[in-house]
């Protein structure tokens, strides 16, 4: 397995001071950026212009999570900006294999996300096209939700599939990750953890990141 990675979500950051907020998480492995369009999910956040500014404001890798319709059109544009990882939702992609290959061709890591009710089985044959698989542990669209323990068996099945393939695909979880839940997700097989309020609500974000990394290890 990959060593535990912590990707704080800037959804919980102060949007009026994003450059400063990114500096608070400089010890993280990447900054997780939630792009929502108020269509695929019932919330609206940021898009290409803001992400372009973020790319110029930080040396942290950007882990872009597209909760949008038509990622086949939009996802490659985030890769073109120099974002290190771009995640599209399987439920929204028209041609996920082609999209994953296009992201890699643009120099980005290709990643695919699944909602809680979406099974992994239909997508196992395309794992080799991915650099990361994201399993949502809450319903996408809002921060601050409680971790869904019913996803743990799904994480275990995904872990086995990744290991059978050679273990090079990162297995990310997103939603309700905190000091109280990260060990359960790690024990099930996750190795990359998106944490929002657990980091940005802490008095010391760096200490929160270090604690989460230790617990996941």
**Over the stretch 67-76, which tens digit does the pLDDT of each residue have?**
999 999 999 9
Return the sign of the alpha-carbon dihedral for residues 72, 30, 132, 67.
negative
* pTM greater than 0.85: yes
Which segments are annotated as binding site for substrate? 9, 65, 141-144, 174-176, 196-197
Residue 60 has pLDDT above 80, yes or no: yes
Q: Give residue 142's pLDDT.
A: 74
Q: Give residue 1's pLDDT.
A: 66
Which segments are annotated as binding site? 9, 32, 34, 65, 141-144, 174-176, 196-197
Q: How many structural domains compose the chain?
A: 1
The answer to whether the beta carbons of residues 100 and 70 sit under 8 Å apart is no
Which segments are annotated as binding site for a divalent metal cation? 32, 34, 65, 174
Q: Give residue 8's pLDDT.
A: 98
The enclosing domain of 38 has a CATH number of 3.20.20.70
Q: How confident is the model at residue 213 (pLDDT cuts 50, 70, 90)?
A: very high
Please tell me which residue in 29, 34, 37, 63 is annotated as part of the active site. Answer: 34
Stretch (H or E) spanning 36: strand 31-36
Residue 11 has pLDDT above 70, yes or no: yes
Is 72 among the residues known to form the active site? no
Q: What is the DSSP string of 62-119?
A: EEEEEESS-HHHHHHHHHHTT-SEEEEETTT-SSHHHHHHHHHHTTSEEEEEE-TTS-
Residues near 117 by beta carbon (within 8 Å), at least 6 away in sequence: none
The answer to whether the beta carbons of residues 96 and 61 sit under 8 Å apart is no
Mean pLDDT of 170-196: 97
Q: How confident is the model at residue 52 (pLDDT cuts 50, 70, 90)?
A: very high
Residue 155 has pLDDT above 90, yes or no: yes
- Cα separation, 212 vs 208, in Å, equals 6
Is 34 among the residues known to form the active site? yes
- Cα separation, 40 vs 89, in Å, equals 9
Q: How confident is the model at residue 144 (pLDDT cuts 50, 70, 90)?
A: confident
The answer to whether the beta carbons of residues 189 and 155 sit under 8 Å apart is yes
Residue 143 has pLDDT above 80, yes or no: no
The answer to whether the beta carbons of residues 48 and 54 sit under 8 Å apart is no
Mean pLDDT of 132-145: 89
Query: Across the chain, what does the average pLDDT equal?
Result: 96
Parent domain of 35:
5-216
Nearest alpha-carbon partner for 20 in 10, 32, 29, 28: 10
Share of the chain above pLDDT 70, in %: 99
Mean pLDDT of 17-40: 96
Q: How confident is the model at residue 102 (pLDDT cuts 50, 70, 90)?
A: very high
Please tell me which residue in 29, 63, 174, 191 is annotated as part of the active site. Answer: 174
């Amino acid at each position: 397995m990959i060593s535990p990675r912590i990707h704080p979500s800037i959804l919980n950051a102060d949007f009026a001071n994003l450059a400063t907020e990114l500096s608070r998480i400089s010890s993280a492995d990447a900054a997780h950026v939630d792009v929502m369009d108020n269509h695929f999910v019932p919330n609206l956040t940021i898009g290409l212009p803001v992400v372009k500014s973020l790319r110029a404001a930080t040396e942290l890798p950007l882990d872009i999570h597209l909760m949008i319709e038509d990622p086949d059109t939009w996802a490659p544009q985030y890769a073109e900006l120099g974002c290190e990882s771009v995640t599209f939702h399987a439920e929204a992609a028209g041609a996920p294999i082609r999209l994953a290959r296009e992201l890699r061709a643009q120099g980005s890591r290709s990643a695919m996300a699944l909602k809680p009710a979406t099974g992994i089985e239909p997508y196992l044959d395309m794992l080799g096209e991915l650099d990361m698989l994201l399993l949502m542990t809450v319903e996408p669209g809002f921060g601050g939700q409680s971790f869904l323990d019913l996803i743990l068996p799904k994480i275990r099945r995904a872990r086995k599939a990744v290991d059978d393939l050679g273990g090079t695909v990162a297995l990310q979880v997103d939603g309700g990750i905190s000091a109280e839940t990260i060990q359960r997700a790690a024990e099930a097989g996750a190795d990359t953890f998106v944490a929002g309020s657990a980091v940005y609500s802490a008095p010391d974000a760096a200490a929160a990141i270090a604690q989460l990394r230790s617990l996941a290890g």
